[in-house]
């Protein structure tokens, strides 16, 4: 319990902390950006990166399966960028737009995708 209170206090204070797999909860875009930007030397790097990739790919695949081709507003280039590149570019994009950090994480992800990979109609 004491660890949870400390983690919550550090997260709300703006202090950077090491990732803990129990903190991979997406309350807002800031949580997604934190999970997607865990440093490689952090012991939770693999879990955080896998979690981030899962969220990004899952959200996009859901979009692909529910939005017809003629109604899509996101059109990835060919060749399709790697998951790592999309993750890193999303993190950089989101960090430069702090006004979106309290928005729902998937909304912010799709803002990034729509701006970065718009369909040309």
CA 83 to chain centre: 11
pLDDT tens readout for residues 5-21? 333 333 333 444 455 55
Question: Where along the chain do its domains lie?
Answer: 27-116
Through-space distance between the first and last CA atoms of the chain, rounded to whole angstroms:
53
Whole-model pTM? Answer: 0.78
pLDDT at 6: 31
């Amino acid at each position: 319990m004491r660890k949870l209170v400390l983690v919550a206090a550090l997260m709300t204070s703006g202090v950077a902390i090491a990732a803990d797999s129990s903190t991979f909860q997406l309350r807002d875009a800031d949580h997604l950006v934190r999970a997607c930007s865990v440093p490689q030397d952090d012991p939770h790097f693999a879990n955080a990166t896998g979690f981030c990739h899962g969220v990004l790919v899952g959200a996009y695949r859901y979009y692909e399966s529910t939005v017809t081709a003629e109604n899509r507003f996101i059109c990835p280039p060919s060749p399709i960028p790697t998951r790592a590149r999309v993750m890193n570019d999303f993190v950089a994009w989101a960090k430069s737009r702090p006004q979106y950090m309290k928005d729902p994480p998937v909304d912010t992800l799709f803002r990034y995708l729509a701006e970065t990979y718009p369909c040309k109609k």
